[in-house]
Every structure is written in structure tokens, then in C-alpha cells.
Amino acid sequence: MNAFLKEFKEFITKGDVLSMAIGIIIGGAFTAIVTSLTNDVIGPIIGMICGGIDFSGLAITVGSAQLMIGNFIQAVINFLITAFVLFCLLKAFNKILPKKEPEPEPEPETPEDVKLLAEIRDLMKAQEDHKE
């Protein structure tokens, strides 16, 4: 049990888990900004362009059930608007960030057999040069 708790502690304190938790918290806070931008700024502009169409009241009645497809359509529209806004924000953010130069790949390690053959070659050449 003690080993299990130690392993759990190592897992929970890893940078990846902490980074993910911070990302989720910031994402939650950012959701309020994007929601406000969608509902309070972009939504009314689209409403003016579309003549004030609001799909949320659209429903289909099947027997005694009422399918609120308007809410679904409105949710899809909100999602597309949100995705577009996030795309534009990230695109602008990426232009602001400094470009990272790709790190050069390290020279591949010479295999031991090739090193050995090179040593043999050098020794043979040295012997030939010594004979002359």
C-alpha cells in the first residue's frame, strides 16, 4: 500500500499533471471570456445580419415528446462561432510569439564496428608509411 501511495504521489507531482491542471483552470476562466464574446458581441452581429433569427425556440413535436432541435442548432452555431474565434485568436497569438529555430539534430553515434575498422585502417596506413 505504501508503494502504491508513493507511486501516486510521484504521478500527481509530475510536471505533466500539474500543467494539465493549470491548463484546465485557465481554460475554465477563458471559457467565460469566449462565451461573453460569442453571446454579447459576435452573436448580436450575426443576429443583425440574419435578421434576428434565433433557433432556440424551434421544436418538433412527436407524440407527447417535444424535440428541441432549435437548441441543438443554436449550440452548433455557438460552437462554430467559438471555434472560429479561438482559431483567429490562436493565429494572432502565434504571430506575436517569437519563432523557435529548430534545434539541429545531433550527429549520429558511429557504431563500434565502424570505429574498429577505422582504427585498423589507420594502423595499416601507419605501418605502410613507416615501411617507406
| CA 22 – CA 19 distance, rounded (Å) | 5
pLDDT per residue over 56-66, tens digit each? 778 888 899 98
Q: Give the CATH number of domain 2-101.
A: 1.10.1200
Query: Where along the chain do its domains lie?
Result: 2-101
Phi-psi region of 24 (alpha: psi -120 to 50; beta: other; left: phi over 0): alpha
What values do phi and psi take at 102, rounded to 5? -65, 135
Average pLDDT in the 74-100 region? 82
Rg (CA), the chain: 32
What band does 52 get if pLDDT is binned at 50, 70 and 90?
A: low
What band does 132 get if pLDDT is binned at 50, 70 and 90?
A: low
